[in-house]
Amino acid sequence: MENTDQTKKRIILVIGPPGSGKGTQCEILANKTGLTHISIGDMIREAIKNQTELGKLAEPFASNNSLVPDVIINDVVIERLTRNSNESIILDGFPRTLNQALALHSNNDIEVERMLIIQVPEDVCMKRLLNRNDPQRIQKDKDEKFNAGRLKFYNENFKDIFELFRGKINIVNGNDDKEKVAKNIDKLISQDPSKGEIDLNLLKPEVIIKNVKELCVICMTNIADYVIVPCGHQCGCEKCLAALKNQNGKCPICRNKIGDLIRVFRSGIANQVEEEEKVVLEPNKSKKNNEDKFDKEIGLKRNNSFNHDVKQFEIKSVFDDQELNKNIKITASLCEEIKEDSKNQPVNIAISINVPDVECRIPVDVCCVIDISGSMGEDAKFQDPEDETKTKSDGFSQLDLVKHAVMTVIHTLTEKDRLSLVTFHTKAKLEYPMEFMNAQNKNEAVKVWRL
Protein backbone atom coordinates (compact mmCIF):
# COMPACT_ATOMS: atom_id res chain seq x y z
CA MET A 1 0.00 0.00 0.00
CA GLU A 2 1.38 3.40 -0.96
CA ASN A 3 2.31 5.95 1.69
CA THR A 4 -0.30 8.63 2.29
CA ASP A 5 -0.01 12.09 3.78
CA GLN A 6 -0.20 11.48 7.53
CA THR A 7 -0.13 15.20 8.40
CA LYS A 8 -3.71 15.66 7.25
CA LYS A 9 -6.59 14.40 9.36
CA ARG A 10 -8.29 11.56 7.52
CA ILE A 11 -11.88 10.42 8.01
CA ILE A 12 -12.86 7.27 6.13
CA LEU A 13 -16.46 6.09 6.28
CA VAL A 14 -17.08 2.36 5.93
CA ILE A 15 -20.66 1.27 5.39
CA GLY A 16 -22.38 -1.85 4.18
CA PRO A 17 -25.32 -4.11 5.03
CA PRO A 18 -25.31 -6.12 8.27
CA GLY A 19 -23.10 -9.18 7.71
CA SER A 20 -21.01 -7.54 4.98
CA GLY A 21 -17.83 -7.88 7.05
CA LYS A 22 -17.23 -4.15 7.45
CA GLY A 23 -16.16 -4.54 11.09
CA THR A 24 -13.50 -7.09 10.15
CA GLN A 25 -12.21 -4.95 7.28
CA CYS A 26 -12.10 -1.84 9.50
CA GLU A 27 -9.93 -3.69 12.02
CA ILE A 28 -7.56 -4.89 9.26
CA LEU A 29 -7.34 -1.39 7.77
CA ALA A 30 -6.77 0.22 11.18
CA ASN A 31 -3.90 -2.19 11.96
CA LYS A 32 -2.24 -1.41 8.62
CA THR A 33 -2.66 2.37 8.64
CA GLY A 34 -2.60 3.26 12.32
CA LEU A 35 -5.95 5.04 11.98
CA THR A 36 -8.39 4.85 14.90
CA HIS A 37 -11.24 2.40 14.34
CA ILE A 38 -14.55 3.64 15.77
CA SER A 39 -17.49 1.24 15.55
CA ILE A 40 -20.80 2.92 16.28
CA GLY A 41 -22.39 -0.37 17.31
CA ASP A 42 -19.53 -1.23 19.69
CA MET A 43 -19.56 2.31 21.08
CA ILE A 44 -23.27 2.07 21.95
CA ARG A 45 -22.95 -1.45 23.44
CA GLU A 46 -20.00 -0.33 25.58
CA ALA A 47 -21.91 2.78 26.71
CA ILE A 48 -24.89 0.64 27.77
CA LYS A 49 -22.62 -1.78 29.63
CA ASN A 50 -20.93 1.07 31.53
CA GLN A 51 -24.19 2.99 32.03
CA THR A 52 -22.76 6.24 30.68
CA GLU A 53 -25.07 9.13 29.73
CA LEU A 54 -25.22 7.78 26.16
CA GLY A 55 -25.81 4.27 27.48
CA LYS A 56 -28.76 5.31 29.60
CA LEU A 57 -30.35 7.11 26.65
CA ALA A 58 -29.68 4.25 24.22
CA GLU A 59 -30.61 1.29 26.44
CA PRO A 60 -34.43 1.53 26.07
CA PHE A 61 -34.09 1.45 22.28
CA ALA A 62 -31.52 -1.35 22.24
CA SER A 63 -33.64 -3.49 24.57
CA ASN A 64 -36.54 -3.16 22.10
CA ASN A 65 -34.31 -4.03 19.12
CA SER A 66 -34.74 -0.47 17.81
CA LEU A 67 -32.11 1.87 16.39
CA VAL A 68 -30.95 4.69 18.64
CA PRO A 69 -32.60 7.90 17.30
CA ASP A 70 -30.45 10.20 15.19
CA VAL A 71 -31.00 13.09 17.61
CA ILE A 72 -29.08 11.11 20.26
CA ILE A 73 -26.37 9.47 18.16
CA ASN A 74 -25.49 12.41 15.86
CA ASP A 75 -24.14 14.70 18.58
CA VAL A 76 -22.12 11.87 20.13
CA VAL A 77 -20.49 10.94 16.81
CA ILE A 78 -19.75 14.55 15.81
CA GLU A 79 -18.17 15.24 19.20
CA ARG A 80 -15.98 12.12 18.88
CA LEU A 81 -14.86 12.99 15.35
CA THR A 82 -13.89 16.56 16.27
CA ARG A 83 -12.34 15.80 19.67
CA ASN A 84 -8.77 15.59 18.36
CA SER A 85 -7.88 17.66 15.29
CA ASN A 86 -4.89 15.39 14.51
CA GLU A 87 -6.59 12.02 14.93
CA SER A 88 -7.42 10.17 11.72
CA ILE A 89 -10.44 7.90 11.98
CA ILE A 90 -12.12 4.93 10.30
CA LEU A 91 -15.82 5.30 11.08
CA ASP A 92 -17.58 1.92 11.01
CA GLY A 93 -21.35 1.86 10.45
CA PHE A 94 -22.07 5.57 10.17
CA PRO A 95 -23.99 7.17 8.52
CA ARG A 96 -26.99 4.85 8.27
CA THR A 97 -29.70 7.43 7.59
CA LEU A 98 -30.05 10.66 5.64
CA ASN A 99 -30.16 12.65 8.91
CA GLN A 100 -26.85 11.15 9.98
CA ALA A 101 -25.30 11.83 6.57
CA LEU A 102 -26.47 15.44 6.66
CA ALA A 103 -25.01 15.87 10.15
CA LEU A 104 -21.60 14.93 8.74
CA HIS A 105 -21.98 16.79 5.47
CA SER A 106 -23.09 20.09 7.02
CA ASN A 107 -20.39 20.25 9.72
CA ASN A 108 -17.60 22.59 8.65
CA ASP A 109 -15.12 20.96 11.04
CA ILE A 110 -15.41 17.55 9.39
CA GLU A 111 -13.93 16.71 6.00
CA VAL A 112 -14.67 13.17 4.84
CA GLU A 113 -11.87 11.75 2.71
CA ARG A 114 -13.87 8.89 1.20
CA MET A 115 -16.74 6.48 1.72
CA LEU A 116 -16.01 2.78 1.31
CA ILE A 117 -19.15 0.80 0.49
CA ILE A 118 -18.84 -2.96 0.99
CA GLN A 119 -21.33 -4.65 -1.31
CA VAL A 120 -22.51 -8.17 -0.46
CA PRO A 121 -25.66 -9.97 -1.72
CA GLU A 122 -28.49 -10.07 0.82
CA ASP A 123 -28.65 -13.88 0.98
CA VAL A 124 -24.92 -14.03 1.74
CA CYS A 125 -25.31 -11.42 4.50
CA MET A 126 -28.15 -13.42 6.05
CA LYS A 127 -26.08 -16.62 6.03
CA ARG A 128 -23.12 -14.85 7.63
CA LEU A 129 -25.30 -13.35 10.38
CA LEU A 130 -26.92 -16.68 11.25
CA ASN A 131 -23.49 -18.34 11.43
CA ARG A 132 -21.81 -15.55 13.41
CA ASN A 133 -20.84 -16.36 16.99
CA ASP A 134 -20.21 -12.96 18.56
CA PRO A 135 -21.06 -13.40 22.29
CA GLN A 136 -22.41 -9.82 22.52
CA ARG A 137 -24.75 -10.21 19.55
CA ILE A 138 -25.41 -13.95 19.19
CA GLN A 139 -29.05 -13.76 20.37
CA LYS A 140 -29.97 -11.12 17.79
CA ASP A 141 -27.87 -12.64 15.01
CA LYS A 142 -29.75 -15.96 15.31
CA ASP A 143 -33.09 -14.17 14.83
CA GLU A 144 -33.76 -14.43 11.08
CA LYS A 145 -36.76 -12.08 11.22
CA PHE A 146 -34.73 -9.46 13.06
CA ASN A 147 -31.89 -9.78 10.54
CA ALA A 148 -34.33 -9.39 7.64
CA GLY A 149 -35.56 -6.15 9.19
CA ARG A 150 -32.00 -4.83 9.54
CA LEU A 151 -31.22 -5.64 5.92
CA LYS A 152 -34.44 -4.01 4.77
CA PHE A 153 -33.64 -0.86 6.78
CA TYR A 154 -30.18 -0.65 5.18
CA ASN A 155 -31.54 -1.06 1.65
CA GLU A 156 -34.28 1.53 2.19
CA ASN A 157 -31.99 4.17 3.69
CA PHE A 158 -28.72 3.61 1.89
CA LYS A 159 -29.78 5.07 -1.46
CA ASP A 160 -30.72 8.36 0.24
CA ILE A 161 -27.27 9.10 1.64
CA PHE A 162 -24.64 8.29 -0.95
CA GLU A 163 -25.38 11.32 -3.17
CA LEU A 164 -23.99 13.64 -0.48
CA PHE A 165 -20.57 12.00 -0.90
CA ARG A 166 -20.46 11.86 -4.69
CA GLY A 167 -16.86 11.94 -5.91
CA LYS A 168 -15.64 10.29 -2.71
CA ILE A 169 -17.26 6.87 -3.05
CA ASN A 170 -15.33 3.62 -3.53
CA ILE A 171 -17.25 0.36 -3.93
CA VAL A 172 -15.70 -2.89 -2.72
CA ASN A 173 -16.92 -6.38 -3.55
CA GLY A 174 -17.25 -7.93 -0.10
CA ASN A 175 -18.44 -11.31 -1.39
CA ASP A 176 -14.95 -12.83 -1.25
CA ASP A 177 -12.51 -14.05 1.38
CA LYS A 178 -11.39 -11.33 3.76
CA GLU A 179 -7.78 -11.24 2.52
CA LYS A 180 -8.85 -10.45 -1.06
CA VAL A 181 -11.34 -7.83 0.13
CA ALA A 182 -8.62 -6.22 2.27
CA LYS A 183 -6.25 -6.17 -0.68
CA ASN A 184 -8.82 -4.39 -2.85
CA ILE A 185 -9.40 -1.84 -0.07
CA ASP A 186 -5.63 -1.23 0.19
CA LYS A 187 -5.52 -0.46 -3.52
CA LEU A 188 -8.45 1.96 -3.30
CA ILE A 189 -7.30 4.01 -0.33
CA SER A 190 -3.80 4.43 -1.78
CA GLN A 191 -5.21 6.62 -4.54
CA ASP A 192 -7.42 9.66 -4.89
CA PRO A 193 -11.01 8.72 -3.92
CA SER A 194 -12.40 10.05 -7.19
CA LYS A 195 -10.22 7.59 -9.12
CA GLY A 196 -11.72 4.53 -7.47
CA GLU A 197 -13.97 2.41 -9.66
CA ILE A 198 -17.56 3.40 -8.87
CA ASP A 199 -20.17 1.14 -10.41
CA LEU A 200 -23.36 3.03 -9.62
CA ASN A 201 -25.37 0.33 -11.38
CA LEU A 202 -24.59 -1.90 -8.39
CA LEU A 203 -26.28 0.60 -6.13
CA LYS A 204 -29.23 1.41 -8.40
CA PRO A 205 -30.12 4.46 -6.34
CA GLU A 206 -33.61 5.44 -7.36
CA VAL A 207 -34.22 9.04 -6.40
CA ILE A 208 -37.81 10.20 -6.34
CA ILE A 209 -38.37 13.79 -7.38
CA LYS A 210 -41.86 14.79 -6.40
CA ASN A 211 -43.81 17.27 -8.41
CA VAL A 212 -43.72 20.60 -6.60
CA LYS A 213 -47.21 21.70 -5.63
CA GLU A 214 -48.24 25.07 -4.24
CA LEU A 215 -49.49 25.01 -0.66
CA CYS A 216 -52.40 26.91 0.81
CA VAL A 217 -51.06 30.09 2.46
CA ILE A 218 -53.49 29.67 5.36
CA CYS A 219 -53.14 26.03 6.49
CA MET A 220 -49.80 25.41 4.73
CA THR A 221 -50.84 21.76 4.35
CA ASN A 222 -53.41 21.37 1.56
CA ILE A 223 -52.78 22.16 -2.10
CA ALA A 224 -53.58 25.72 -3.21
CA ASP A 225 -55.91 24.65 -6.02
CA TYR A 226 -58.42 27.53 -5.84
CA VAL A 227 -58.10 30.99 -7.37
CA ILE A 228 -59.86 34.06 -6.02
CA VAL A 229 -62.01 36.16 -8.35
CA PRO A 230 -61.55 38.97 -9.30
CA CYS A 231 -57.98 39.49 -7.99
CA GLY A 232 -56.70 36.21 -9.47
CA HIS A 233 -54.56 35.01 -6.55
CA GLN A 234 -54.20 31.23 -6.49
CA CYS A 235 -53.34 31.01 -2.83
CA GLY A 236 -55.50 28.55 -0.92
CA CYS A 237 -57.49 25.37 -0.61
CA GLU A 238 -61.28 25.27 -0.83
CA LYS A 239 -61.84 24.79 2.91
CA CYS A 240 -59.68 27.71 4.04
CA LEU A 241 -60.76 30.17 1.36
CA ALA A 242 -64.44 29.34 1.84
CA ALA A 243 -64.10 29.96 5.58
CA LEU A 244 -62.30 33.23 4.89
CA LYS A 245 -64.98 34.33 2.43
CA ASN A 246 -67.70 33.74 5.02
CA GLN A 247 -65.67 35.44 7.75
CA ASN A 248 -64.31 38.71 6.38
CA GLY A 249 -64.60 38.21 2.62
CA LYS A 250 -61.10 39.46 1.79
CA CYS A 251 -58.22 37.92 -0.14
CA PRO A 252 -55.35 37.00 2.26
CA ILE A 253 -52.83 38.44 -0.21
CA CYS A 254 -54.16 41.73 -1.54
CA ARG A 255 -57.11 42.11 0.90
CA ASN A 256 -59.51 42.91 -1.94
CA LYS A 257 -63.05 41.58 -1.66
CA ILE A 258 -63.55 37.92 -2.56
CA GLY A 259 -66.15 37.64 -5.30
CA ASP A 260 -65.95 33.94 -6.03
CA LEU A 261 -63.69 30.90 -5.77
CA ILE A 262 -62.76 28.82 -8.80
CA ARG A 263 -60.87 25.55 -8.74
CA VAL A 264 -57.95 25.31 -11.14
CA PHE A 265 -56.17 22.27 -12.56
CA ARG A 266 -52.77 21.62 -14.02
CA SER A 267 -52.80 20.69 -17.67
CA GLY A 268 -54.25 17.20 -17.91
CA ILE A 269 -57.29 15.49 -16.45
CA ALA A 270 -59.03 16.59 -13.27
CA ASN A 271 -58.50 14.24 -10.31
CA GLN A 272 -55.70 12.50 -12.18
CA VAL A 273 -52.97 11.36 -9.78
CA GLU A 274 -49.67 12.93 -10.77
CA GLU A 275 -46.89 10.39 -11.01
CA GLU A 276 -43.56 10.85 -9.32
CA GLU A 277 -40.55 11.11 -11.59
CA LYS A 278 -38.08 8.33 -10.88
CA VAL A 279 -34.43 9.00 -11.61
CA VAL A 280 -31.76 6.32 -11.63
CA LEU A 281 -28.29 7.84 -11.55
CA GLU A 282 -26.15 6.49 -14.36
CA PRO A 283 -22.37 6.25 -14.07
CA ASN A 284 -21.78 7.40 -17.64
CA LYS A 285 -23.64 10.66 -17.18
CA SER A 286 -21.73 13.71 -16.04
CA LYS A 287 -21.93 14.94 -12.47
CA LYS A 288 -23.49 18.17 -13.69
CA ASN A 289 -26.37 16.36 -15.40
CA ASN A 290 -27.21 14.41 -12.26
CA GLU A 291 -26.92 17.51 -10.09
CA ASP A 292 -29.42 19.30 -12.31
CA LYS A 293 -32.01 16.65 -11.41
CA PHE A 294 -31.39 17.06 -7.72
CA ASP A 295 -31.65 20.84 -7.96
CA LYS A 296 -35.37 20.38 -8.55
CA GLU A 297 -35.76 18.72 -5.19
CA ILE A 298 -34.10 21.24 -2.86
CA GLY A 299 -34.62 24.97 -2.78
CA LEU A 300 -36.34 27.87 -1.14
CA LYS A 301 -38.18 29.27 -4.12
CA ARG A 302 -41.87 29.61 -3.43
CA ASN A 303 -44.18 29.03 -6.35
CA ASN A 304 -47.36 30.73 -5.14
CA SER A 305 -48.52 33.19 -7.74
CA PHE A 306 -48.16 36.22 -5.50
CA ASN A 307 -44.39 35.88 -5.03
CA HIS A 308 -42.99 34.30 -8.17
CA ASP A 309 -40.10 36.75 -7.97
CA VAL A 310 -38.54 35.18 -4.87
CA LYS A 311 -35.12 33.96 -5.93
CA GLN A 312 -33.73 30.45 -5.50
CA PHE A 313 -31.19 30.14 -2.69
CA GLU A 314 -28.04 28.08 -2.98
CA ILE A 315 -27.05 26.38 0.27
CA LYS A 316 -23.29 26.52 0.82
CA SER A 317 -21.07 25.24 3.60
CA VAL A 318 -19.31 28.61 3.85
CA PHE A 319 -20.77 32.07 3.27
CA ASP A 320 -18.49 34.59 1.51
CA ASP A 321 -18.80 37.70 3.70
CA GLN A 322 -16.07 39.54 1.80
CA GLU A 323 -17.82 39.13 -1.55
CA LEU A 324 -21.07 40.43 -0.04
CA ASN A 325 -19.32 43.42 1.56
CA LYS A 326 -17.81 44.41 -1.78
CA ASN A 327 -21.29 44.84 -3.25
CA ILE A 328 -22.82 46.83 -0.39
CA LYS A 329 -23.28 50.48 -1.38
CA ILE A 330 -23.44 53.23 1.26
CA THR A 331 -24.47 56.75 0.28
CA ALA A 332 -25.03 59.92 2.32
CA SER A 333 -27.08 62.96 1.32
CA LEU A 334 -28.07 66.20 3.01
CA CYS A 335 -31.61 66.54 4.26
CA GLU A 336 -31.48 70.34 4.19
CA GLU A 337 -29.60 73.16 2.56
CA ILE A 338 -26.47 74.33 4.38
CA LYS A 339 -26.53 78.06 4.84
CA GLU A 340 -23.45 80.30 4.95
CA ASP A 341 -23.98 81.24 8.59
CA SER A 342 -24.48 77.66 9.76
CA LYS A 343 -20.85 76.61 9.76
CA ASN A 344 -19.87 74.25 12.56
CA GLN A 345 -23.54 73.61 13.23
CA PRO A 346 -24.99 70.08 13.13
CA VAL A 347 -27.08 69.22 10.10
CA ASN A 348 -29.32 66.27 9.29
CA ILE A 349 -28.13 63.78 6.70
CA ALA A 350 -29.71 60.63 5.29
CA ILE A 351 -27.67 57.42 5.15
CA SER A 352 -28.72 54.84 2.56
CA ILE A 353 -27.34 51.31 2.68
CA ASN A 354 -28.07 49.19 -0.38
CA VAL A 355 -27.47 45.48 0.33
CA PRO A 356 -27.58 43.21 -2.75
CA ASP A 357 -29.93 40.25 -2.90
CA VAL A 358 -28.33 37.25 -1.25
CA GLU A 359 -28.66 34.17 -3.42
CA CYS A 360 -26.77 31.79 -1.18
CA ARG A 361 -26.51 31.06 2.53
CA ILE A 362 -25.08 28.54 4.95
CA PRO A 363 -27.27 25.97 6.73
CA VAL A 364 -29.02 27.31 9.83
CA ASP A 365 -30.34 25.97 13.12
CA VAL A 366 -33.70 27.51 14.07
CA CYS A 367 -35.39 27.20 17.46
CA CYS A 368 -38.93 28.59 17.50
CA VAL A 369 -40.00 29.57 21.03
CA ILE A 370 -43.78 30.14 21.16
CA ASP A 371 -45.89 31.73 23.87
CA ILE A 372 -49.10 29.69 24.29
CA SER A 373 -50.43 31.50 27.34
CA GLY A 374 -54.06 32.61 27.53
CA SER A 375 -53.38 36.13 26.26
CA MET A 376 -52.38 34.68 22.88
CA GLY A 377 -56.03 33.70 22.37
CA GLU A 378 -57.04 37.35 22.02
CA ASP A 379 -57.97 38.75 18.60
CA ALA A 380 -55.12 39.89 16.37
CA LYS A 381 -56.00 43.46 15.45
CA PHE A 382 -54.72 45.77 12.74
CA GLN A 383 -55.30 49.38 11.80
CA ASP A 384 -58.42 50.09 9.81
CA PRO A 385 -57.20 51.26 6.39
CA GLU A 386 -60.25 53.52 6.10
CA ASP A 387 -59.97 55.07 9.57
CA GLU A 388 -56.56 55.16 11.23
CA THR A 389 -58.14 55.87 14.62
CA LYS A 390 -59.81 52.45 14.65
CA THR A 391 -58.60 48.84 14.69
CA LYS A 392 -60.14 45.81 13.05
CA SER A 393 -59.90 42.04 13.34
CA ASP A 394 -60.27 39.26 10.79
CA GLY A 395 -61.34 36.87 13.52
CA PHE A 396 -57.91 35.29 13.91
CA SER A 397 -56.26 35.10 17.32
CA GLN A 398 -52.65 36.12 17.92
CA LEU A 399 -51.77 32.44 18.29
CA ASP A 400 -53.36 31.71 14.88
CA LEU A 401 -50.93 34.14 13.27
CA VAL A 402 -47.98 32.71 15.19
CA LYS A 403 -48.95 29.18 14.09
CA HIS A 404 -49.02 30.32 10.49
CA ALA A 405 -45.62 32.02 10.87
CA VAL A 406 -44.08 28.85 12.33
CA MET A 407 -45.57 26.75 9.52
CA THR A 408 -44.00 29.16 7.04
CA VAL A 409 -40.61 28.77 8.73
CA ILE A 410 -40.89 24.97 8.60
CA HIS A 411 -41.69 24.95 4.88
CA THR A 412 -38.95 27.49 4.11
CA LEU A 413 -36.11 25.43 5.56
CA THR A 414 -34.17 22.93 3.45
CA GLU A 415 -32.94 19.45 4.34
CA LYS A 416 -29.60 20.95 5.37
CA ASP A 417 -31.23 23.18 8.00
CA ARG A 418 -32.35 22.07 11.46
CA LEU A 419 -35.41 23.07 13.49
CA SER A 420 -36.72 22.63 17.01
CA LEU A 421 -39.99 23.80 18.60
CA VAL A 422 -40.37 24.99 22.19
CA THR A 423 -43.60 26.23 23.81
CA PHE A 424 -43.97 28.02 27.11
CA HIS A 425 -46.77 28.99 29.45
CA THR A 426 -45.80 28.70 33.09
CA LYS A 427 -42.73 26.72 32.03
CA ALA A 428 -40.93 25.80 28.81
CA LYS A 429 -41.59 22.49 27.05
CA LEU A 430 -39.65 20.92 24.18
CA GLU A 431 -42.29 19.96 21.61
CA TYR A 432 -39.95 18.88 18.80
CA PRO A 433 -36.19 18.19 19.13
CA MET A 434 -33.59 19.66 16.79
CA GLU A 435 -33.80 17.73 13.50
CA PHE A 436 -32.80 18.24 9.87
CA MET A 437 -35.77 19.42 7.81
CA ASN A 438 -36.05 16.71 5.20
CA ALA A 439 -39.54 15.89 3.89
CA GLN A 440 -40.30 13.31 6.57
CA ASN A 441 -39.20 15.51 9.47
CA LYS A 442 -41.08 18.50 8.06
CA ASN A 443 -44.28 16.47 8.12
CA GLU A 444 -43.59 15.36 11.69
CA ALA A 445 -42.87 18.93 12.83
CA VAL A 446 -46.07 20.15 11.18
CA LYS A 447 -48.11 17.41 12.88
CA VAL A 448 -46.62 18.30 16.27
CA TRP A 449 -47.29 21.99 15.78
CA ARG A 450 -50.84 21.53 14.51
CA LEU A 451 -51.70 19.62 17.69
pLDDT per residue over 1-22, tens digit each? 444 445 568 899 999 998 899 9
Q: DSSP characters for 8-53? A: S--EEEEE--TTS-HHHHHHHHHHHH-PEEEEHHHHHHHHHHHT-H
Residue 324: pLDDT over 50: yes
Residue 216: pLDDT over 50: yes
Q: Which helix (H) or strand (E) holds 77?
A: helix 70-82
Rounded to an integer, the average pLDDT of 380-405 is 82
Query: Does the N-terminal peptide bond of residue 95 adopt cis geometry, omega within 30 degrees of 0?
Result: yes
Q: Helix, strand, or coil here: 412?
A: helix
pLDDT per residue over 385-396, tens digit each? 778 788 887 777
Q: Does domain 11-204 have CATH number 3.40.190.10?
A: no
Least confident of 268-272, 316-320, 447-451: 268-272
Rounded to an integer, the average pLDDT of 275-285 is 40
Residue 247: pLDDT over 70: yes
Q: Which helix (H) or strand (E) holds 244?
A: helix 238-247
Question: Which residue spans within 108-233 are E strands per DSSP?
Answer: 114-119, 169-173, 206-209, 226-229
Sequence-separated (6 or more) residues with CB below 8 Å from residue 40:
73, 77, 91, 92, 93, 94
**Distance, CA of 183 to CA of 418 (rounded, Å):** 40
CB 360 within 8 A of CB 311: no
In the chain, CATH 3.40.50.300 sits at 11-204
**Distance, CA of 214 to CA of 308 (rounded, Å):** 11
Residue 351: pLDDT over 50: yes
Residue 212: pLDDT over 50: no
Q: What pLDDT, on the 0 to 100 scale, is given for residue 419? A: 93
Residue 270: pLDDT over 80: no
Q: Exposed, middle or buried: residue 263 (CB in 10 Å: 0-12, 13-18, 19+)?
A: exposed
pTM of the model: 0.47
In CATH terms, the superfamily for domain 207-312 is Zinc/RING finger domain, C3HC4 (zinc finger) (3.30.40.10)
Task: Out of 7-11, 373-377, 390-394, 403-407, give the one with best mean pLDDT.
Answer: 403-407
Sequence-separated (6 or more) residues with CB below 8 Å from residue 339:
none
In the chain, CATH 3.30.40.10 sits at 207-312
